[in-house]
Amino acid sequence: MSSAKNPQPGRRKAPSGAARSQRDWRHPLRSWFGSHRDSARQALVRVRHYPFSSAMTVLVMTIALALPMGLSVLIGQVKQLGVNWQEAAQISVYLADDVSAEKQQSLTEQIRQLAGVAQAQLLDKDLALAEFQQHAGMGDALLQLDYNPLPSVIVVTPLSIDGGAAALEPQRDRLAAIDGVEQVQIDLLWVERLAAILAMFERFAGGLGVLLIIALLLVMANTIRLAIESRRDEILVIKLVGGTDAFVRRPFLYIGVLYGLLSGVLAWILLALGLAWLNVTVERVASLYQSEFALFGMPFTDGLALVFGSMVLGLAGAWLAVGQHVRAIEPQ
């Protein structure tokens, strides 16, 4: 009786259907992760076993990544210049000499209410003369004059500068038609020139980036090709025992990703140090123009994008080489 109730010693209870299905589901996933882990380990071992060639490849990729990215970051920061473009574009409204102080205030308020005007500020002739004496270096000469030759000016900041100076022509005509206004001048030419110069450098940086990315892909493809040729006999043996092309190429793809990761991190560090070194000169030049502009270093998001992009490029270059050369190696 007792033997019928109690299970025999040493006999395991059969797993239930749910436990068996869960184990069957986990087994291929665990094998897949294990295979990728082994491939990543093989890639790391190969990089460590060939330190000189690996270092040369990483350095070439670092330079190819750092040059266009550095130009892009530098141009993006120079665009700021510590100046708001909207405030830098101004319309100078010169008032006639016979306009009284009360009339000047009234005209300023009238212009401030116009459509398309963000701000209007009155700069009377006495204040303009004081600023001119301070910045022009002609203070003593101006003191010898019997009268103030400078006119009062209303500095107008437009709401938008889209379209450049041509788009502000109607605004200038409306301001010139106001009674008491002598002349209207659009101070936007230097902004357009600077924007055109920066656009030219942006196009240059984009073209340089495309060329260097192509060079980076070629360098990675050649590096992986040499790695494949050095392991040709091993690949033949793997295919003889039933190894698939996917199994063979996986370690080489990880080599490309690892090279991309190392070169991306190194390029990030190089750019951060380079911007800090360049910032010393930039601050000195900006101080000569009474500006507090300074480079603010390598943005964190740009650094992450650089590392991720370099890993993708390393994988793409490795894939180009592996896809062609691994298929060509077949046991006879």
Tens digit of each residue's pLDDT (9 = 90 or more) over 265-290: 999 999 999 988 988 888 887 777 66
Q: Which of 36-45, 214-223, 276-285 has the lowest mean pLDDT?
A: 36-45
- Which of these, 139, 62, 78, lies nearest to 291 by C-alpha position? 78
Which among 121, 117, 120, 125 has a CA at the least distance from the CA of 96?
125
The token pair at 10 is 């040493």
Q: How far apart are CA 46 and CA 53, in angstroms?
A: 11
Residue 18: pLDDT band (50, 70, 90) is very low
Please determine, for residue 21, whether its predicted confidence score (pLDDT) is greater than 50.
Answer: no
How far apart CA 215 and CA 7 sit, in angstroms, is 71
Angle at 147 between CA 145 and CA 150, to 5 degrees: 100
* Exposure letters 294-321 (e unless 16+ CB within 10 A, then b): ebebbeeebbeebbebbbebbbbbbbbb
Rounded Cα distance, 80 and 179, in Å: 38
Q: Where are the alpha helices (DSSP H) in the chain?
A: 2-5, 17-49, 51-80, 85-88, 101-112, 125-136, 139-143, 169-176, 189-230, 232-240, 245-288, 300-328
State the Cα–Cα distance between residues 314 and 62, nearest whole angstrom. Answer: 11
- Which positions ≥6 away from 250 have C-beta within 8 Å? 35, 36, 39
Which numeric CATH code is attached to 90-187? 3.30.70.3040
Question: Rounded to whole angstroms, how far apart are CA atoms 213 and 61?
Answer: 9
**Structure tokens, 273:** 């140090």
Domain boundaries of the chain, sorted by first residue: 35-82+193-328, 90-187
Q: What pLDDT, on a 0 to 100 scale, did the predictor assign at position 82?
A: 44
If pLDDT is split at 50, 70 and 90, which confidence band does 312 have?
A: very high
Mean pLDDT of 287-300: 77
Distance CA 56, CA 145 (A): 71
Look-up: residue for tokens 């892009």? 72
Angle at 8 between CA 7 and CA 9, to 5 degrees: 115
pLDDT in tens, 167-184: 677 888 888 888 888 888
Mean pLDDT, all residues of the chain: 77
pTM of the model: 0.64
Local confidence band at 308 (pLDDT 50, 70, 90 cut-offs): very high
pLDDT surpassing 70 at residue 163: no
Is residue 43's pLDDT more than 50? yes
Question: In the prediction, which pLDDT does 135 show?
Answer: 56
Q: How many CA atoms lie within 13 A of 140 on its CB side?
A: 0
Least confident piece of the model among 94-98, 130-134, 147-151: 130-134
Q: What is the mean pLDDT of residues 4-17?
A: 49
Residue 191 one-letter amino acid: V
Both tokens of 148, joined, read 């103030």
| Number of neighbouring beta carbons within 10 Å of residue 29 | 9
